[in-house]
Amino acid sequence: MHEILIEEKILARNDEIAARNRNALKERGIYSINIVSAPGAGKTSLIERMAGELKNMGLRFAVVEGDLEGDFDSKRIERHGVPALQITTGRACHLDAHQISHALPWVFGQDSIELLVIENVGNMVCPAEYDLGEDIMVTVMSTTEGDDKPLKYPAIFSASGALVINKTDLAPHTDFDMNRARENALKVNPYLKIFETSCRTGSGVGAWATYLAGLVKDGKKK
């Protein structure tokens, strides 16, 4: 009972800060996404591939990068001319709203940012419980993980508005069934928008980036 009460208090406090984060971003006309996945699904590679597509659309974005240790991924992103801020969580398996609140002054200091991309720590469990103040959560899974992933980790798929199935170029070399993966994801969340990408070949990234740019545009109308 005590453990449950403590967790409820932590999540309630997190939700309060997340609401403030969301309002602060909205006031400045910045749309935000929270990208989640298991380790190695290709979140950072997807952001790298998105950079060129969004740049061609004239859409500027910044990245807040979450990892247990190191700044490897933020450096990768910066090489594409995208500003990136690293948050190291130590042993924590997810980002929380408080950490994002401390990152917002840096975000607001970037020039003409329309989109904030938060790359969460690689984990398919904890991030589902922690609202960061984002407009939409995006789950990335890969063809090397198994098409039953949505059924094993339903909370993260239920909380997401979009699903990117990555590493499609590797699908012929695995037992991954794309149709079954889609069916499983939609069983958990029938409202998911699903995209198929390969960051190695670039296949499907343009469609994903176009969808994302549309969300940014629609967000400004609200």
- What is the per-residue pLDDT across 4-38, written as a single tens digit (0 to 9) for each? 555 667 789 999 999 999 999 999 999 999 999 99
Q: What CATH code is carried by the domain that includes residue 32?
A: 3.40.50.300
pLDDT at 92: 86
Work out whether the CA dihedral 197, 202, 203, 205 comes out positive or negative: positive
How many percent of the chain have pLDDT more than 70? 95
pLDDT digits (tens, 9 = 90+) for 80-132: 999 999 999 988 899 999 999 999 999 999 999 999 999 999 999 999 999 99
Q: What are the residues whose beta carbons fall under 8 Å from the beta carbon of 49, sequence distance 6 or more?
A: 197, 199, 202, 205
pLDDT at 215 over 70: yes
For residue 1, the model assigns a pLDDT of: 43
pLDDT band, residue 219 (cuts 50/70/90): confident
Strands 162-166 and 115-119: unpaired
**Number of compact structural domains in the chain:** 1
Instruction: Give residue for tokens 């296949």.
Output: 203
Does residue 2 register a pLDDT over 70? no
Q: What is the DSSP string of 13-57?
A: HHHHHHHHHHHHHHHTT-EEEEEEESTTS-HHHHHHHHHHHHHHT
Tell me the per-residue pLDDT of 125-157, one tens digit each, with 9 for 90 and over: 999 999 999 999 999 999 999 999 999 999 999
List the domain range (segments joined by +) for residue 8.
2-221
